Homo-oligomer: A and B are copies of this chain.
């Protein structure tokens, strides 16, 4: 019952021709006579012959696989990036091996080592927070030294020479804060993570820039730093909103913003009249929260598409040109109910 995979050798033996003849016949080579080709092709079709990808990979030194390493899969932004990557990769005939580093340096390194030995033609990745904290990029450098193409997106480092795709986080934050100021807000808070994450830092910079431009003094106690990205446990946010007479909040992610809005509502604030909210990452929560959240869209899918295009271009370019590009996407502010829209 079990139809085992058939190979060129089987066909050759059955039809009493050589393996090379079979191979050529199946590629419709001019070298082979019509009769022979038809016979071989018919036989191959009948037995559902399909060339073995592994053998082809070995011969061609090309796997048509690319690796994607992201810090977290249960996170809307990375998910959309992956979707963009997968779309382009499929269009160009590549499969995608997806690894999740879970924000761990070791997992990132291990995944790279396993896949860098012929399993994939190139890597697309976003750095784990632990890697950015350790500031150790030797695993990436080894990769590029071996001539394996690498594209970094969103969480990047300037210590590795490779193609990069990122969004202008600083400008996104700058424009958000500017908008809040123009809406008449005075005490604008920033809710961020610890700033070893490159993106968190950029966003803080944009916040500072906007305040400076409008001659508003930076107050340290208007900046709340929460430990981990998804944990909103504890009452830090509540104390913060209660004590600081904040009238607008920029959050570096959706969760913080949604959580902040709930607490503000509980404290009796009206959104957006008394307090406005803007959050990074225009994910699913922003669209469905109550009120809906004005968000800085990071265009994840587009980032994914560009990353994949850059990587595949490098993979398929003959010459090992050592020139690297950095694409910077402009974020878009999606206005919703959590801000006054003038």
Point out residues on A near B: beta carbons under 8 Å: 1-5, 50-55, 57-58, 63, 65, 73-74, 76, 79-80, 82-83, 86, 90, 95-100, 107, 111, 113-119, 145-147, 255, 258-259, 262, 265, 284-285, 288-290, 320
| Minimal beta-carbon separation of A48 from chain B (angstroms) | 8
| Minimal beta-carbon separation of A23 from chain B (angstroms) | 15
List the B residue with the shortest CB-CB distance to A55: B58
Write out the residue numbers on chain B whose beta carbons fall within 8 Å of the beta carbon of A82: 73, 98
Write out the residue numbers on chain B whose beta carbons fall within 8 Å of the beta carbon of A5: 117-118, 146
Write out the residue numbers on chain B whose beta carbons fall within 8 Å of the beta carbon of A100: 83, 86
B54, A118: Cβ atoms under 8 Å? yes
Contact of A289 among B3, B79, B290 (CB under 8 A): B290
Write out the residue numbers on chain B whose beta carbons fall within 8 Å of the beta carbon of A97: 65, 95-98
A95, B119: Cβ atoms under 8 Å? yes
| A-B CB contact pairs (8 Å), 29 listed | A2-B145, A2-B320, A4-B146, A5-B117, A50-B116, A51-B117, A52-B117, A53-B117, A54-B54, A54-B57, A55-B58, A58-B58, A73-B82, A74-B79, A74-B80, A76-B284, A82-B98, A86-B98, A86-B99, A86-B100, A90-B99, A95-B97, A95-B99, A96-B99, A284-B285, A285-B285, A285-B288, A288-B289, A290-B290
